Structure 1
């Protein structure tokens, strides 16, 4: 008889991985979390209210106001020189009967909260080793770690990112599409605050987005061709600040760069199924998108919420309970992953479209959203992760 080291092993030390490890342990399973240390994640995450509600329900945060900044408006400005331009459009959370669409959180602060919760779970053990090899047999899964040790468990949760070893070694088929665009991110200090408004300037190669981060600080996400971003990054602080002021149409006064800039390439990734054979995929192991529509971590937390539901529903007296759970999880995630993936891909490609019919469709769509409250309400629900 094979000796198992845990009921479940969660691989991946990012926010989705920590949230998944907590969810599995909270369901009563003995859990090992493989979370090798990495550099601090200085990005932010705009989490919509369903995600914030899940964090509260799972006990991962108490009051979002103590951790993040509310997002009460979304302002879209067509800054392209195209013949058919979309109207400036403002979405206000009050139209949907909400005080905020969501909250913008610093990932470092979220991680601190998640790790504090994890540390209080007696059935959750954290190892700082990474996964080196992964194999499966009828008795479960065998994981070889970077320190040479070996672990076995019937259930494995792969939350180990775009290059997931769990995904590839388990035989999941992934589709990845790279773009010539990249994203530049940093924090800015503005002369005038954004308030609660996330402001998106849509340019031909992608949006230039300012997200409120408290006071006069804003998180910048600028999408453009990689060579354009690299040249801007190399131009020096003064030239870069002047460029940021120009691209924000000088609406927010003097701009100062508050943190180092980082540039990373963009791609999409999807899988045919998010679970099978006692393995489930969560976070960027199962899906990855350009930073459009605030879907990245929101979708990852919906993965974890459905994992929690599958854990609550499974009969663990069955010898094949882990296989049954993985298939149930895949079924729960299928429609959301397909719908959100299609939405984000269509939106991103529409922002880059140069063809006149595509411009007309996009401009017409924003006019419809601007003028038709019922359509705006439906767009709110989809963008916030409505099922």
Structure 2
């Protein structure tokens, strides 16, 4: 099935760029490519409008979405994250001091904004469908052929799509990545993330609070009103106990773990659980192929880094595509993809390493590791320049205070 709300002809099968996947990273990539003047196809069985989870978009991501023209629709659906509080609830001999990072210290209104994934997906999908140069193929990409001239995609319903560049956003089990022969490093953790949304009787004061438990973080992130999203990282056995609890029992247990800082809690919607694992692609590019989002990197939900890292992939690739369009260059050339690879390598490696190290530091009983973690948080709480450096790097690594964004290039622009 081919779907489009634009002037692009449904029968057209030859494009400049084809995006595989319609999650937030894929939809943003399609929007960015179309605004740069490329005829763009999106191949995906559908957009997930039922995802009950939430995403915290940090300020650099907000700036990027503003440049793409969608943040004004997302902003009313979001809650600001003005403060980020970290509390050591491990009960161990060596414990870290409580640390609160305040966006006002960086002269920002907020570090970022939290919103529901279903709202994010809906707004991005509507924006992409409104672009004249985006065509949706609502089917599964089942076959891939990459060479020096083009990317050729076959769909499950027998359609054939050719493009100069394929952007793979089809997730951690990417068929596009596998077809290109790009290997991955995978690892797993003895942890499961239990996620849900909560209503509560006390205001959250626009503060995200992360309790560090011996099993992993217990993180409450503000939503609009007296509501918050929760990510509770547990052992598999602990997660099974939580998800099996009757709602009143579960709500009392969550209030206990949160030390009643948000008052009485009520679970709003489904309780979901996901085993934690990690992945990094050995390369984020191949012939006529660029990997973005969870196709390129996966790590635990700590520090709101996952989708924000994926949006930096899109932003990096988008800047190169704008440049190629401006100079009438091939958007899928080996040179462009080599530059994308070089630009993303350090950011992906540093984020993956940092999140992995923080997560593992909570799991270990080794006193030297506990002491190092405690000392680091102590210095962050006491040394202003270090605290501000950590805040800046968390928001936009190497690009603070205002990341320089390549504004979307539109055909006919001066």
Scaled by the length of structure 2, the TM-score of the pair is: 0.90
Give the aligned partner of residue 138 of structure 2: 128
Give the aligned partner of residue 39 of structure 2: 30
SS in 1 for 2:283: coil
Deviations along 1:278-337, one digit per CA (max 9) or x if unpaired, are 100011000111000100110111111111111022267556853332222112211211
Give the aligned partner of residue 80 of structure 1: 90
Alignment of 1:97-176 (within 5 A): 97-176=107-186
Distance 2:21 2:337 in 1: 18
The 10-residue stretch of structure 1 (71-80 or 32-41) with the greater mean CA deviation from structure 2: 32-41
Is 1:271 the counterpart of 2:275 in the alignment?
no
Give the aligned partner of residue 290 of structure 2: 280
Give the aligned partner of residue 357 of structure 2: 346
Distance 2:156 2:166 in 1: 17
Kept after mapping to 2: 8 A contact 1:61/1:113: no
SS in 1 for 2:84: strand
Is 1:192 the counterpart of 2:202 in the alignment?
yes
1:8 corresponds to which of 17, 20, 23: 17
Distance 1:86 1:267 in 2: 26
Instruction: Say how many residue pairs are matched.
Output: 385
Kept after mapping to 1: 8 A contact 2:188/2:278: yes
Give the aligned partner of residue 342 of structure 2: 331
Q: Shift of the alpha carbon at 1:14?
A: 0.4
**Which sections of structure 1, spanning at least 5 residues, go unmatched?**
none
Distance 1:216 1:62 in 2: 23
Distance 2:324 2:286 in 1: 14
Is 1:241 the counterpart of 2:262 in the alignment?
no
Distance 1:328 1:4 in 2: 28
SS in 2 for 1:175: strand
Distance 1:318 1:256 in 2: 55
Distance 1:351 1:56 in 2: 36
Scaled by the length of structure 1, the TM-score of the pair is: 0.96
Deviations along 1:133-160, one digit per CA (max 9) or x if unpaired, are 1122343222111112221112100000
**Which sections of structure 2, spanning at least 5 residues, go unmatched?**
1-11, 399-414
Distance 1:109 1:76 in 2: 28
Kept after mapping to 2: 8 A contact 1:179/1:266: yes
Kept after mapping to 1: 8 A contact 2:289/2:332: no
Question: Would you identify which runs of 4 or more consecutive aligned residues in structure 1 move more than 4 Å?
Answer: 315-321
SS in 1 for 2:269: coil
Q: Shift of the alpha carbon at 1:63?
A: 6.2
Distance 2:221 2:284 in 1: 31
Alignment of 1:53-72 (within 5 A): 53-62=63-72, 65-72=75-82
